[in-house]
Structure 1
Amino acid sequence: MNILAQNTNAPIESKREQAKARTRRALLKSALRLYSLEGAQGMSMNKVAKGAGIAQPSFYNHFESLDALQNELSAQLKDHYLSPMRLAWVNMLKDYDVLTKDEFNQQCQQCLLMIFDSAFQNIALFQHLLEDRPRFTTDIENQSSLNNGLGNLVSEIQEEWTEIFIQGLQLSNRTCERSAVNLCVDMAAAQVHELILGCHQQRYSREQAIATLNISFDTLFANFLQGSNHSDS
């Protein structure tokens, strides 16, 4: 009980670390706000620091570079988007063979609703993330600039979806070439992205979009899983 009392430096150090942690969080929040408003083109160390209420030179007390900050923010966002739904998708794929059509449709709708809810928590951010995705180009310098920071997040999330699908396949005693999984994920992601934006533009309701995706995914998954190798072992 007397250890903390004897260590007189502990409270001072704790307050200092707490203040540093608050500033670090403020920088991440500032970068998120800025990116949501302006996308990758509007990101600068000066703007991020100003939004957090600190001078630009103090930025280096918390992050070694703007890219380092964006990488940490990207990791947090990826976890935020995927954590609530990762297990649900794995279980749906794992149980595909024993689910009735109605049960599959119900689980698929719930999973799609989670995706839409995540996107609409910050639809401006979602739009900028799609706009700033890496594009294929023969211009190496331009390709490098496009592949930095938060612009990579959509691609990283799709790579994570591939791992989720592979995990679900393995748990259902199925195997499939990674290229086939990538193709399935890319097709599904393209449809989801397009219909989320369509809902945002009020061309149709979220319920209509999810119902349409559910029908599409039923066919997509059926064709995909029929092409996988099933083991009874």
Structure 2
Amino acid sequence: MTVLAQYSDVPTESKREMAKAKTRRALLKSALRLYSLEGAQGMSMNKVAKGAGIAQPSFYNHFESLEALQNELSAQLKDNYLSPMRMAWVDMLKDYDVLSKAQFNERCQQCLMMIFDSAFQNIALFQHLLEDRPRFTANIENQSSLNNGLGNLVIEIQEEWTEIFIQGLQLSNRSCERSAVNLCVDIAAAQVHELILGCHQQRYSRQQAIDTLSSSFDALFANFLHGSNSSE
């Protein structure tokens, strides 16, 4: 049976659903490509639809709004970014007390390499995400208004890092105030972001950056972990 014959045997409803799913993926791909090139300022429903090869009115057959599309794309990017490294970081924190300095350094460098590799898969996207991230406000009530799809992704990832650190602390029989974990994560994230951009500008090599970060994290984690409360 030929491929064409096989496809003709698919029920009409299934064909429709397959075509819809394909267009939905095309819209997400178009939005990612557009955001990587122009950032949030260049995003529009018309541009995204055109990039996917459909008319703008057809956009609503797949997403209720441009923000809904960006939120879905943001969730996919966050999962793709964090999935391969989540357990590596949790295990490193969990095993901190039994790791030698050399072992910690090796684990830390492996984790950092994953972060750098992920950023450099699409460095233009990474730069725009940093540029478009909302700034924290003193008014917590206004914080929810900063939810703007892709522009909020960096903040969401840092919140996820906080959860990863808390999980690692719990597995090592430690507890710590969330504010202290947030501080540790923000310091680490600021260093990582800056050195990724420095590598992109060829100010130094990736290995130099990772070596420096690993040394910095050794001191940061030692201060942070030794200051946390053990339940033992």
TM bracket (short chain): over 0.9
Separation in structure 1 between the aligned mates of residue 180 and residue 227 of structure 2, nearest angstrom: 9
The equivalent of 1:37 in structure 2 is 37
Separation in structure 2 between the aligned mates of residue 49 and residue 28 of structure 1, nearest angstrom: 10
Q: Cα deviations across residues 13-56 of structure 1 (Å, max 9, x unaligned)?
A: 11111000000000000000000000000000000000000000
Distance 1:223 1:79, change over 3 A: same
Separation in structure 2 between the aligned mates of residue 146 and residue 182 of structure 1, nearest angstrom: 19
State how 1:134-145 maps to structure 2 within 5 Å: 134-136=134-136
State how 1:33-112 maps to structure 2 within 5 Å: 33-112=33-112
Q: What is the deviation of 1:147?
A: 3.9
The answer to whether the 8 A contact 1:132-1:146 is kept is no
The equivalent of 1:119 in structure 2 is 119
Separation in structure 1 between the aligned mates of residue 36 and residue 146 of structure 2, nearest angstrom: 17
Separation in structure 2 between the aligned mates of residue 167 and residue 143 of structure 1, nearest angstrom: 25
Matched, 1:158 2:165: no
Separation in structure 2 between the aligned mates of residue 205 and residue 49 of structure 1, nearest angstrom: 39
RMSD, aligned CA: 2.0
Matched, 1:21 2:14: no
- TM-score (structure 2 length as normaliser): 0.92
Separation in structure 2 between the aligned mates of residue 34 and residue 77 of structure 1, nearest angstrom: 15
Separation in structure 2 between the aligned mates of residue 213 and residue 137 of structure 1, nearest angstrom: 28
- Same amino acid, percent of matched pairs: 87
Separation in structure 2 between the aligned mates of residue 11 and residue 157 of structure 1, nearest angstrom: 41
Separation in structure 1 between the aligned mates of residue 28 and residue 174 of structure 2, nearest angstrom: 41
Separation in structure 1 between the aligned mates of residue 47 and residue 164 of structure 2, nearest angstrom: 36
Separation in structure 2 between the aligned mates of residue 146 and residue 227 of structure 1, nearest angstrom: 33
The answer to whether the 8 A contact 1:39-1:128 is kept is yes
Separation in structure 2 between the aligned mates of residue 137 and residue 10 of structure 1, nearest angstrom: 53
Q: What is the deviation of 1:224?
A: 0.2
Separation in structure 2 between the aligned mates of residue 145 and residue 38 of structure 1, nearest angstrom: 23
Q: Show structure 1 runs of 5+ residues with no match.
A: 1-8
- TM-score (structure 1 length as normaliser): 0.92
Separation in structure 2 between the aligned mates of residue 214 and residue 14 of structure 1, nearest angstrom: 51
The answer to whether the 8 A contact 1:133-1:151 is kept is yes
Q: What is the deviation of 1:146?
A: 5.4
The answer to whether the 8 A contact 1:119-1:126 is kept is yes
Separation in structure 1 between the aligned mates of residue 136 and residue 27 of structure 2, nearest angstrom: 31
Q: Cα deviations across residues 50-103 of structure 1 (Å, max 9, x unaligned)?
A: 000000000000000000000000000000110000000000000000011111
The equivalent of 1:170 in structure 2 is 170
Moved more, 129-138 or 43-52: 129-138
Q: Show structure 2 runs of 5+ residues with no match.
A: 1-8
Separation in structure 2 between the aligned mates of residue 16 and residue 171 of structure 1, nearest angstrom: 48
